[in-house]
Amino acid sequence: MRASPIPPLVLASASPRRLDLLRQVGLEPAIIDPADIDETPGTGELPRAYALRMARAKLAVVRERHAGALVLAADSVVVCGRRILPKTEEEAEARDCLARLSGRRHRVLGGVAAAGPDGRVRTRLVETIVRFKRLEAAEIDAYLATGEWQGKAGGYAIQGRAAAFVAFLSGSYSNVVGLPLFETVALLKVALP
């Protein structure tokens, strides 16, 4: 009896970090097809529900374009208290995020969704706890000058210079970078025929 052929992997993300992380574990997407969706949190939407909704929504859009493929989608959400921090586009927004995170513990939620050729959607939610040291104004200014914060949830990239801000981390480091690898690989294995 012959095993079913492995369908092509489609990554529903334009994030170079997610692509790098997949390559780190030997996975090379055949297609990169980002989903363009509205990422505005719903009124009163809780962070865990939001992270999973975003991953599922991205998956749904891309899955329609690639029937028979193995599709992977993910979303990273930085949460301070119960507040979902934005993917920062403006420097003032990033400054506000860093000021909120300074000296505090926060959560990074990674919503991951995958669907194989059978169309069944499988999801995982991964939570990582991160605590920043107390940041001085000069440290925030210097970080903002790097531009690493642009388009990043919570206004920082842990794999860059913001690594110097991290006093404590509990959970998946790769989740904070953009994709929880252990859980993603397990999810993809289950989604295969």
What pLDDT, in 10s, does the model give residues 134-160? 999 999 999 999 999 999 999 999 999
Q: Structure tokens of 78?
A: 């930085």
| Residues designated catalytic | 75
Is the per-residue pLDDT at 21 higher than 50?
yes
> How far apart (Å, rounded) are the C-alpha atoms in residues 62 and 76?
18
Query: CB of 148 within 8 A of CB of 94?
Result: no
The mean per-residue pLDDT over the stretch 1-9 comes to 66
Is the per-residue pLDDT at 1 higher than 60?
no
The mean per-residue pLDDT over the stretch 53-81 comes to 96
pLDDT band at 105 (very low <50, low <70, confident <90, very high): very high
Q: What is the pLDDT of residue 191?
A: 84
The mean per-residue pLDDT over the stretch 121-141 comes to 98
Q: What is the pLDDT of residue 193?
A: 66
The mean per-residue pLDDT over the stretch 112-128 comes to 95
The residue among 193, 180, 177 whose CA lies nearest residue 17 is 177
Exposed / middle / buried, residue 150 (Cβ in 10 Å: 0-12, 13-18, 19+): middle
